[in-house]
Homo-oligomer: A and B are copies of this chain.
Amino acid sequence: MEEIKIFAPATVANLSCGFDVLGCCLESIGDEMLLRKNTTGEIRITKISGQELPMEADKNVAGVAVRALLKELNSQQGFDIEIYKKIKAGSGIGSSAASSAGAVFAVNKLLNEPFSPEELIPFAMEGERLASGNAHADNVAPALLGGFNLIRSYEPLEVIHLPTPQDLRMVILHPLIEVKTMDSRSIIRQSISLQKAVKQWGNLGAFVSALYSNDYDLLGRSLKDEIVEPVRSILIPFFDELKIIARESGALGFGISGSGPSVFAMCKGEASAKQTGAAIQKYYQEKEIDFDLHLSKIGNEGVKIIS
């Protein structure tokens, strides 16, 4: 195989009670990428559409991730990378993770899979390090593995793949304002109350239980975050109002996607997702805030081959 075209999915990290450890993959939102072996021995970003991003491989997350993979193999193989961005950079649904994960997935396929999907995660994390200064895994792991993923530990890296209740739907609202991941991290307090932390881990334990037991109501009750959300939500226009509207429309839970500004509503079933999406969209229209709105299933596959 000389060439491969793939779909690289968007992802939602920092899922409320799962700050820094829990993310999920979206099925119908993502970029496309085309990767082709070349004979120059170089990694070249040959095309980017949909967005202005660095064409220099060392400054592009896809280039950096691929370089990390090839370095591990001591490979001199060159690749041309074309990136067709659909996910907006800085939207909070794993734009950089999609590019990093997509690139290493594709290169791995073109090299006859020297690595398992799990083993690709650390390479994709190098792209995240370039994008945000922090080699986090809670976007790239679900982008590569699909479904819900829990990062139990970074040293050593251990990612746990969790089950997905089949009726789950995600509504993503992206207010068209810019929040840099680094800014968004810097406002988080580095010291928290034990009492709130105990609530958070109680909720995360319950969320994991609910994924296994298909308990949608429990998923909703445990999607809470009294630690990071109260601080970060001030950067998102009308966050509190949107949350109330989503809940009143029947959403199970509502929170910040990644480090924002996108927000997510988790819903049971297509009808509930549509109703919730319509309600929060109407509110933003009335407030005259520009936005993108997406509805998606949870993507069980992660990166997919298109051709």
**Do A20 and B153 touch (CB < 8 A)?**
no
Tell me the residues in window 166-225 of chain A with beta carbons closer than 8 Å to chain B beta carbons: 188-195, 197-209, 212, 218, 221-222
Q: Give every chain B residue within 8 A of A151 (Cβ-Cβ).
A: 202
Q: CB distance A21 to B191 under 8 Å?
A: no
Q: Is the CB of B21 within 8 A of A201?
A: yes
User: For the complex, what is the distance from the CA of A33 to the CA of B192, rounded to whole Å?
Assistant: 43
- A209's partner among B150, B193, B194 (CB-CB below 8 A) is B150
Q: 1/0 per position for A145-165, CB-CB distance to B under 8 A?
A: 000001111000010101000
Check A150 against B193 for contact (C-beta < 8 Å): no
Q: Please determine whether B218 and A160 come into contact, CB atoms closer than 8 angstroms.
A: yes
Among A17, A150, A227, the most chain B Cβ lie within 10 Å of the Cβ of A150
User: Inside 8 A of A194's CB, which chain B residues have their CB?
Assistant: 188-192, 227
Q: Are B152 and A222 in contact (CB under 8 A)?
A: yes
In the bound assembly, the distance between CA atoms of A148 and B20 in angstroms comes to: 26
Bound: A20/B195 CA distance, A: 9
CB of B18 within 8 A of CB of A203, answer no
A284 at the interface (CB under 8 A from B): no
Q: Which of B21, B195, B221 contacts A202 (CB 8 A)?
A: B21
Q: Could you tell me the distance between the alpha carbons of A17 and B79 in the complex, rounded to whole angstroms?
A: 45
CB-defined contacts of A198 to chain B, threshold 8 Å: 19-21
Q: Is the CB of B206 within 8 A of A152?
A: yes
Q: Once the chains are docked, how many angstroms separate the CA of A207 from the CA of B153?
A: 12
Interface size on A, residues (CB 8 A): 39
Contact residue among B18, B22, B188, B221 (Cβ-Cβ distance under 8 Å from A152): B221
* Copies of this chain per assembly: 2
- The interface residues of chain B lying within 8 Å CB-to-CB of A221 are 152-153, 158
Shortest CB-to-CB span from A207 to chain B, Å, is: 7
A197 interface neighbour in B153, B197, B205, B222, Cβ under 8 Å: B197
Asked if A21 and B205 make an inter-chain contact with CB atoms under 8 angstroms apart, the answer reads: yes
For residue A202, give the distance in angstroms from its CB to the closest CB of chain B: 4
A203 to chain B: which residues have CB within 8 Å?
A: 152-153
Distance, CA A199 to CA B195, complexed state (A): 16
Contacts of A227 in B (CB 8 A): 194, 197
Question: How far apart are the CA atoms of A151 and B205 in the complex, in Å?
Answer: 9
Bound complex: CA A80 to CA B222 (Å): 41
- Would you give the shortest CB distance from A132 to chain B, in whole angstroms? 16
Q: How far is the CA of A7 from the CA of B207 in the complex (A)?
A: 33
Which residues of chain B are within 8 angstroms of A204 by Cβ–Cβ distance? 201, 204-205
Taking a contact as CB atoms under 8 Å apart, the answer to whether B197 and A192 are in contact is yes
Residues of B within 8 A of A20 (CB): 198, 202
A residues within 8 Å of B by Cβ? 17-22, 150-153, 158, 160, 162, 188-195, 197-209, 212, 218, 221-222, 227
Could you jot down 6 A-B contacts, CB within 8 Å?
A152-B203, A158-B206, A160-B209, A160-B218, A192-B192, A192-B193
